[in-house]
Amino acid sequence: MTVYLIRHGKTQGNVERRYIGSTDQPLCPQGRAELAGKTAPAADRIIASPLLRCRETAEILYPGRDVEIVDDLREADFGEFENRAYGELKDDPRYRAWLDSAGAAAPPGGESRVQQQARTVRAFRNAMAACGEDERAALVVHGGTIMCLLEALEPSRRFYDWQAPNGGGYACAWDGERLTVTATI
Q: Are 144 and 104 in contact (CB under 8 A)?
A: no
Beta-carbon contacts of 137 under 8 Å, excluding residues fewer than 6 positions away, are 1, 2, 3, 4, 43, 44, 45, 46, 47, 127, 128, 131
Pairwise CA distance, residues 129 & 126, whole Å: 5
Q: List Cβ neighbours of 39 (8 Å cut-off, separation of 6 or more).
A: none
Q: Are 68 and 48 in contact, with CB atoms under 8 Å apart?
A: yes
In what side-by-side order are the strands of the sheet with 45-48?
68-69, 45-48, 136-141, 2-7, 169-174, 179-184
Task: Please list the active-site residues.
Answer: 8, 75
Beta pairing class for 136-141 and 2-7: parallel
Strands (E), 23-152: 45-48, 68-69, 136-141
